[in-house]
A and B are shown apart, each in its own frame.
Chain A
Amino acid sequence: QVQLVQSGAEVKKPGASVKVSCKVSGYTLTELSMHWVRQAPGKGLEWMGGFDPEDGETIYAQKFQGRVTMTEDTSTDTAYMELSSLRSEDTAVYYCATCSGGDCYSYYFDYWGQGTLVTVSS
């Protein structure tokens, strides 16, 4: 059983950066394909990026290229998502989500973190 526990809510000013963490337990990070998904208030789910097991690389959505960095610390089994140059439209709940199976190439996510609300406001 995988558990994903995310860091707490953040309030940031426009132009700042935010770094959200996602602590894994029950599995090691190297056994998982970790992705990040966000949801603006009243809106749908939006894939931001994640690990593609087909080519072994982290892929970012075009929309966030140059602004997002996803990293992993395997010594602590913690994944991070850093988003820079924040604007009001980045106000959203950010989720880490992972596939724990051996067939994750279709990007299904069987475990989710509890979500981290990031509010961007001056």
Chain B
Amino acid sequence: SSELTQDPAVSVALGQTVRITCQGDSLRSYYASWYQQKPGQAPVLVIYGKNNRPSGIPDRFSGSSSGNTASLTITGAQAEDEADYYCNSRDSSGKGVFGGGTKLTVL
């Protein structure tokens, strides 16, 4: 089965840039999407496709991909960006998969 691997926790100083990564073989064939989840809330899509942001998502969020690694970059992190971030994709058999999540702390 496919797996997506994320670092469990990352921290960033207020206003600085942080990159959250997601690794998995399926990312060689399919794009990753990224979700922000705050406590007690449903996840919110922040990046999908090559580097697309849904309406309402600030442009400080961006995505990139190389080989088996997808990255979410927050340029100029804000206090409100503190949250859990999950990547997801699928494999060739149609099975979906989420990464284990990265807890982002803004210092």
Interface residues, chain A, CB within 8 Å of chain B? 35, 37, 44-47, 49-50, 52, 54-55, 57, 59, 61-62, 95, 97, 103, 105-110, 112-115
Contacts and interface: CB of A to CB of B under 8 A. Distances in A.
Interface in B18-77: 30-33, 35, 37, 42-45, 48-49, 54
A45 B88 contact: yes
Interface in B86-106: 86, 88-90, 93-101
Interface residues of B, number: 28
Nearest to B86: A45
Contacts of B30: 105-107
A108 B32 CA distance: 8
B24 to A, nearest CB: 13
A52 B42 contact: no
A106 B42 contact: no
Contacts, number: 77
Most buried by A among B30, B42, B45, B54: B42
Nearest to A51: B94
Interface of B: 1, 30-33, 35, 37, 42-45, 48-49, 54, 84, 86, 88-90, 93-101
A45 B96 contact: no
Given A45-B88, A62-B1, A107-B88, A115 B42 contact: yes
